[in-house]
Structure 1
C-alpha cells in the first residue's frame, strides 16, 4: 500500500418516509445542524434546514489513491447510510461529490511570481 490520499466527500440526499418522531427530533436539533456546523470530519457532519427536504453529510476519507474517487464515495455513502439507519431516518437515493485534496490545484489570487508587474 502506497501513500494515502485525503478525500473530502459530500453526500447529498432527500428525506423520505420520516416518521413524526423523526421529524420532531430533526426539528429539535436543527440549530446544531445548520450552516455553522458545516465541516469535513471523519465521523461526518450532518447539515439540513427546517424545511426538512434535503440534507448533506461532509466526510474526510483517507484512502489509497489507486482505489480512486469511487472508493472514497462508496466509503462515505456507507457511513451516511449507517448514521441515518442508526437514527431511524428515512432517505432517498444518495449522491456523492469527491475532491482529492492531494491533487487539488490551488490558485493564489493576488500573488505573482518573480518579475511580475
Structure 2
C-alpha cells in the first residue's frame, strides 16, 4: 500500500458561454464567493468576481504519493468539471497549481 499525501490544488479557469440563468445565479451569489470564501476543502471552494471572466477553485486532494502532483491536479480538475457541469455553468482553459503539503518545508522563525 502506498503512502497517502495531502495536496492543495488551485484550479483556475475562465467562464465561457454562460447562459442568462447562469449569469443571474452567479451574480446573485457573488458576495458569497469573494476573497473571504477562499478556503481549501475536499468539495472545493469556488471564488470569482462580478466581472464573470475568471474563477478559481481551492481543493484538498488526498492521493497516493507515488502518483504525484500530476494525478492530484487531474483529480481536482475532474471535481471542478463535475461541479460546474452539475450547476450548468460553462467554462474553459482549466489549469492547476499543486502543493504537496507532506513535502513542504516550513521555516520556523527563532
Q: CA RMSD in A?
A: 0.7
Instruction: Give unpaired runs (5+ residues) of structure 2.
Output: none
1:20 matched to 2:23: no
- From the CA coordinates, give the structure whose radius of gyration is larger: 1
1:2 matched to 2:8: no
Match of 2:83 in 1: 83
* 1-structure distance, mates of 2:52, 2:35: 14
* 1-structure distance, mates of 2:99, 2:92: 23
TM-score scaled by structure 1?
0.92
Which runs of structure 2 are paired with 1:47-86 in the superposition (5 Å)?
Answer: 47-86=47-86
Instruction: Give unpaired runs (5+ residues) of structure 1.
Output: 112-117
* 2-structure distance, mates of 1:9, 1:80: 11
TM-score scaled by structure 2?
0.97
Q: CA deviation at 1:93?
A: 1.5
Greater per-residue strand proportion: 2
The secondary structure found in structure 2 opposite 1:93 is strand
Q: CA deviation at 1:66?
A: 0.1
Deviations 1:35-71 (A, max 9, x none): 0010000000000000100000000000110000000
1:94 matched to 2:94: yes
* 2-structure distance, mates of 1:107, 1:24: 45
The aligned length equals 110
